[in-house]
Amino acid sequence: MSVSAKPKEEQCALAQGPVGRSPQIDRSQYSDDALSVLDYYHVNRETDPLAIVVGAIDRMTANQREVISRFETAIALAGIEFGRIDLAIQRAEEIQQRVESLVTAVARMQEDFALTTDKIRKRSNSDIILNHLKPFIYGLFGALLTLLVLFAVFRFKSS
């Protein structure tokens, strides 16, 4: 008789392990919820269809928890990045306001410069020359006044 011609009972017995013993459930492979279901229905064999279904569902829920955890991590990282983007936008707005204030100040300076140049253009040549000679005249007047005071001091001392 060939190996494939063995009766089905014998093949099942070989698959289950030594005669009279079936493989026990490895409790470390299941979550607490899955173990409570298996204990409720008194399932002790790994080959039991309910154990197979509960194991598959347990692995699927573990995978789902892992995926959810990864999504939560991705959402947290996205929140951080959006926060950084918001800060960058706020800084850009601050810089834009500063630039606008500088542009306004430059425009005022241009207007003031234009007014000043218009005033200078409207002056006559004699006004411009007199404007440059005023410090010289004031200096000359101060020197004459100083000489006059010194002359008076020496005059009263000698008399």
Reported as a pLDDT band with limits 50, 70 and 90, residue 157 is confident
**pTM, 2 dp:** 0.44
Residue 8: pLDDT above 80?
no
**What contacts 16, CB < 8 A, 6 or more positions away?**
22, 23, 45, 47
Position 33 scores a pLDDT of 87
Question: pLDDT tens across 49-72, in order?
Answer: 998 899 999 999 999 999 999 999
CA 21: distance to chain centroid? 62
Mean pLDDT of 17-30: 71
Answer left, alpha or beta for residue 31, where phi above 0 means left and psi between -120 and 50 means alpha: beta
Residue 2: pLDDT above 50?
no
Position 67 scores a pLDDT of 95
Torsion of CA 126, 131, 135, 140, to 10 degrees: 20
Residue 9: pLDDT above 80?
no
Mean pLDDT of 94-117: 95
End-to-end CA distance of the chain: 163
Residue 150: pLDDT above 60?
yes
Of residues 29 and 15, which shows the higher confidence score? 29
Reported as a pLDDT band with limits 50, 70 and 90, residue 21 is low
**What mean pLDDT, rounded, does the chain reach?**
85
Position 30 scores a pLDDT of 87
CA distance 111 to 150: 50
| Range of lowest pLDDT (16-20, 27-31, 44-48, 128-132) | 16-20
